[in-house]
A and B are shown apart, each in its own frame.
Chain A
């Protein structure tokens, strides 16, 4: 069982570059989430998709966009990366919104 798969695992970007973080889940969950984790800050919600075809902002959405490509896949895009976006990004899925979250292994992003 793969669960939640994120790619890439590591990435270094220059300021101003763009990139897309990919996430896929094979648990047939309806809801998918993107979080960022910074030292001493815990997990903060960037965007979520309660169900296929919908997306909503979370606590810290500025500088990000998302796409719910289908039920399995939910991508996070940084259009113009900034050093403040250096973080570890986690994708999570839930059977339905706000039940138990299952996390991927994370993408460690450094913006220089």
Chain B
């Protein structure tokens, strides 16, 4: 079954705010991937991380491969309305297939 804990499950953003989410595992991972899914679409790859401690940016998005190799973080700076959607982390151990977190749903504050 699922071995990744992704948090928070959901969050509300106001335009301009910074957003943080993370994934943790009890196992060591060799690869961390972050995806975004818009309604009615498939997940789209945002950032790929392959080395412990690695910090990679893609525009306003920054992701880090945790030093312990058991976690990863995604930050979105200065959020905009089109950032809403579901963000998934995915990890891979030395053996086995990619494992996906259950997602963090980003919505706009009412």
Chain A residues near B (Cβ < 8 Å): 4, 33, 35, 40-45, 48, 58-59, 90, 92, 97-98, 100-106
Contacts and interface: CB of A to CB of B under 8 A. Distances in A.
B90 interface: yes
Contacts, number: 53
B102 A106 contact: no
Given A59-B1, A90-B42, A100-B45, A45 B102 contact: no
A90 B43 contact: yes
A73 to B, nearest CB: 17
Given A41-B102, A98-B98, 12 more contacts: A4-B42, A43-B100, A44-B100, A45-B98, A59-B1, A97-B97, A98-B96, A98-B97, A103-B43, A103-B44, A104-B42, A105-B40
A105 B45 contact: no
B97 A58 contact: yes
B88 A43 contact: yes
A44 to B, nearest CB: 8
